[in-house]
Amino acid sequence: MKTFILIHGSWHSSWNWHKVTPILENKGHQVIAIDLPGMGRDKTPIKEVRMKTTVEKICDLIDGIEGKVILVGHSKNGIMISQAAEYRPDKIEKLVYLAAYLIPNGKTQSEYSKQDIEGVLKPYVTQHAHLNAHTLQEEIYKEGLYADCDDDITELAKVLLSHEPVESGITPLQLTEENYGRVPRYYIECTKDKAVTPFIQRKMYTETPCENIYSMSTSHSPFFSKPVELVDILCEIAST
Total domains in the chain come to 1
Kindly report, residue by residue over 18-36, the tens digit of the pLDDT: 999 999 999 999 999 999 9
- Structural domain containing residue 196: 3-239
pLDDT at 72: 98
Say how far residue 195 (Cα) sits from the centre of its chain. Answer: 12
Kindly report, residue by residue over 137-181, the tens digit of the pLDDT: 999 999 999 999 999 999 999 999 999 999 999 999 999 999 999
Q: Round to whole Å and give the CA distance between 66 and 163.
A: 33
In single-letter form, the type of residue at position 17 comes to W
pLDDT at 32: 98
Neighbours of 35 (CB within 10 A): 18
Q: Round to whole Å and give the CA distance between 110 and 112.
A: 5
End-to-end CA distance of the chain, in Å? 13
pLDDT at 90: 97
Of 183, 165, 224, 163, the C-alpha closest to 69 is 183
Q: Average pLDDT of 208-224?
A: 98
pLDDT range class, residue 123, cuts 50, 70, 90: very high
Alpha helix (H) ranges present in 40-197? 51-63, 78-87, 109-115, 141-145, 151-160
| Rounded percentage of the chain residues whose pLDDT exceeds 90 | 100
Q: Average pLDDT of 214-220?
A: 98
Per-residue CA distances from 96 to 47, 69, 72, 109, 165 (Å) = 29, 11, 5, 17, 23
Helix (H/G/I), strand (E/B), else coil: 48: helix
pTM above 0.85, yes or no: yes
In single-letter form, the type of residue at position 154 comes to T
Q: Round to whole Å and give the CA distance between 11 and 218.
A: 20
Query: What CATH number corresponds to the domain at position 235?
Result: 3.40.50.1820
Of 99, 82, 125, 123, the C-alpha closest to 200 is 99
